[in-house]
Structure 1
Amino acid sequence: MASPHPAGSSSISKERNGATVEDDDYIYDDEDEPSKENGDNEINYMRPNSKLQLLTKNHTLEADVGQMVVLPCHLQNVEENTIVMWHNTSNLLFMKNNTYTNDPRLTFAQNYSLLIKNVQISDDSIYKCTVLPIQASAFITLKVKSQPHSVRITHGNADYTNRDLEIQQRDRKFIIHCRALGYPTPSVTWSFRGKHLDDNYAKHTGINIRKEFLEIHDVKAHHAGDYECLAQNGIGEPVSAVVNVQIKSNATKIGLNEDASTTPVPEDIEASPSVVKHVDYLNTAIGENAELMCLYHSNPEARKVQWFRGEEQLRNSAKFAIVEDRHNHHQRTRLTVRNIEQRDLEAYFCKVENALGESTAKTILGLLPGSAHLIHSNYSDGLLHTVWRVRSAQPLSDLQILYKGENTKYTVIDATISEQNKEESGDVWNIKRSIRLPEGEWFITARAKNTEGWSYSETVPIHFQIPSEVSLETQSLSGSGSSRLHSLSLGFCLLLFSLVCRLL
């Protein structure tokens, strides 16, 4: 899975007309990219003097959970001794009129196709239709679309999702891994103490991001805190997992005797609370109320939780309301700013202090749109269909989608926006746009514009792997012994056919 942060990507929050998008970094294209034709990968072993043919090619099908899907096995010139077998990986499902599966959702149709009702995630697999006696096979890959699931953070072979992970500073290095399932393959992004780990922040904190891996090669006290991985693939809401990393040091006591053994004494050196989640920017409108929040972890217990607007400390009043509560396994502080005025459009800071130190986080309140979030995607007939969600109390006028290959520059296309894109209640806009893309790896991001200007920041690029036709050789035969396996498989099928004919 490719990194969602392509190397060398630069800011994209620039105007299109008049002053904008940098010519060296982006190509503006009003037309979609042309698609590439997929090659014919049908392999059909013909038996001499037989007119029987398998017409189905190797291909990939996509299905939603709960949908009904038909896996075709089209034949021409069917003969009396024709036998069709369906396999799911290595499991035999059907052979001629015999059923070898207990799953009532699977049906062997009269036209030799395999029918799957009420598709489930577990049906995601490679299916094979084999035709005897001509020894022809077609491989059909069924990809079941689902939002990210089973998101886990592991260290070594242990699962630390939503748990504490103690790291000894003397170990100098540690690696955590974010595992996420789903189709399309989820892209993973990391946050540390509630702030997205972009290239600058990661470099500043001494953290190395390698796709779904997070590495620290020189463990320091400031590396303690919550690490969150966010998995998203454009279907449903993003799913996250969190691990709280605690850094331990090892003090050594040396006896008076030169030969005395050393005794490591663990000592918790976490010196301050940590803000584990907040938003960097929040869209609002004049006259509205806005709620800002910070989730934090503090041990020992926080003795002060404060909110500031610039240098001004805020307290409960007719203008501001501050509430302390809990959310999941974290403590939370919330600030409500009532009846927004122009002077309220500033940076707000939550500050948490305990006996050992303090931590702060910043949220900017403004009139520009929030970031565009991809909430749904679907690929069919060479087109990637996307749906983007943007929060803006003001009318949206533009949505630009930017896409690039692994080694290309961004291409920019526009989406059409009208009042029909706005949800009936609230300040949320849902915008659809299709992009014609050939197979391969792509990175896609977006930005929106309302009456006040372009988004405060662009969306973190999302990785897409546009599927290609299934390769018969790679799907059916793998490893150095592929030729021997093929001959064994062929011999087994001929033996099976001979036995079946004797029974008929």
Structure 2
Amino acid sequence: MIRAKDTTWLLLICLLIGQFYVRTHGTPIDETKDDYQDDDYYSDNEEDPLEDETPPVVDTPAARPYFEESDLRIEAKPGDDVVLNCDVRNFMINNAVMWYKNTTMIVNGNTAVVPRFEAMKNNSIFLQNVTPADSENYYCVILPQDVRQRTTLRVGARLSILCDDRDITDRSQTFRQGDHHKLECRTYLPGEPTIKWSFNGIRIESSPSDEEKGVIVLDNIDDVNAGVYQCLADDGSHDPPHGMVTIDVQYSPKVSTHRHHVNTEEGGFAEVYCNYRANPIARSFFVKEGKTIQLSEKYSLRDSVHNGHNRTTLIIRDVEESDLGEYLCHVENAIGYNEVKVHVSYKPETPQFEDMKLEGTKVTMHWLVRSLQPLSEAMLDYKLSGSYTWSTVSVLETHRHNQTGGIWKITHQLDLPRRGMWHARVKTKNPYGWSNFSPDHDFTIQADGEGSYEPSDADLPPDQIVQAGIGLGGRGTASALAQMPLGGVILAALLLRQIRQL
């Protein structure tokens, strides 16, 4: 008979056996059932770290690949071998390298897509025997982060122009007055082509040594050196290499005037002007007796352009005696200054040669003179080249030029006995005095032929023949022999020559 106490122990033992059986023989849980609940320690989007013990790859800024320099530049000459580096930092095993020429892929990883390019183990590329056509922008791209480095390759042309060892081909350069520079035309061609320089389209003649080296030396540079310089390497081909450079020169003003003496009259007006060129731009003003002339009702300025020059004109109204004298036209810029003198007076202005007519030994010359006052006299000086003294003749024929007020025309004819180079000059007189002499006018009387006789200098001293043939009364220091008719002078010379031969 089983007692109640025994029954209690029996039930307890059965419960323990059941728990043990369930632990060892229980069926797997059906995860598809709706009443299953995940472990509270993990969310729906997280994975149990025990399932994959490999740590995740975290793309932090410190781990990203990068370039210390994002832009590089390489200069090369035609025929050089060039290496384009891709020096990337933090390059990982899962990174890949791509090379592009602008937008065209040329290298994929370790494989060259375009011929002539060779991929190197350090991600760089090698290009052999470069040409000007290889001048482009190249990009090294690191994937998947798309980190880029640009390399600009510039391959010089077959010809380069260097200024002080700097390449200035097809560029502009600015020099300063007084500078010293050297232009060199350098070629990258087989053989020895002939270097030819030109300046503003005109061939530059240089010494053989400089031409062989292709060098032009610009010493003490001035405005005359400004322009276009071209270099050509004559290699015998139909299309020889060539280049050019434009030179700009900064210089102090160049000032001039055609009227250094200005004639005026009391109560009238006078115009004093000067022409100038300057680079950079210049300012101009007038000075009299050390004082800058201020603009007023009496003085005004006018700026204009005349034959490619800047012109500044001072207008003086109601001229008085105190307005006569010397004026300075002063022009200055950042480089320096220059000035020219103009004299205002009542005397005639300096005569200017107009033209001449030559018929055998007869010469007819014309001068123009400005004078508001009537001319009373004109004087002509002339001499044969090599003579030490001038002969003088008074010219009385003066008349107004085309009825233009203030301009007179001087005309005179000479019948010269001697063929060769002659010089002539003129000055004029009005009630206030004489003008300055005009600049010498030079002219040549050609010889007729081999049979024509020309007395030698020993036969006819220059001071005895320079007035021969003047129809009007002569003046000056000519001897009596000079007043003889032309035939008498030549006869005297022949007689003198025969006497010396005896």
Interval containing the TM-score (normalised by the shorter chain): 0.3 to 0.5
Question: Larger Rg: 1 or 2?
Answer: 2
Q: TM-score, normalised by structure 1?
A: 0.40
Q: TM-score, normalised by structure 2?
A: 0.40
Where is the strand percentage greater, Structure 1 or Structure 2? 1
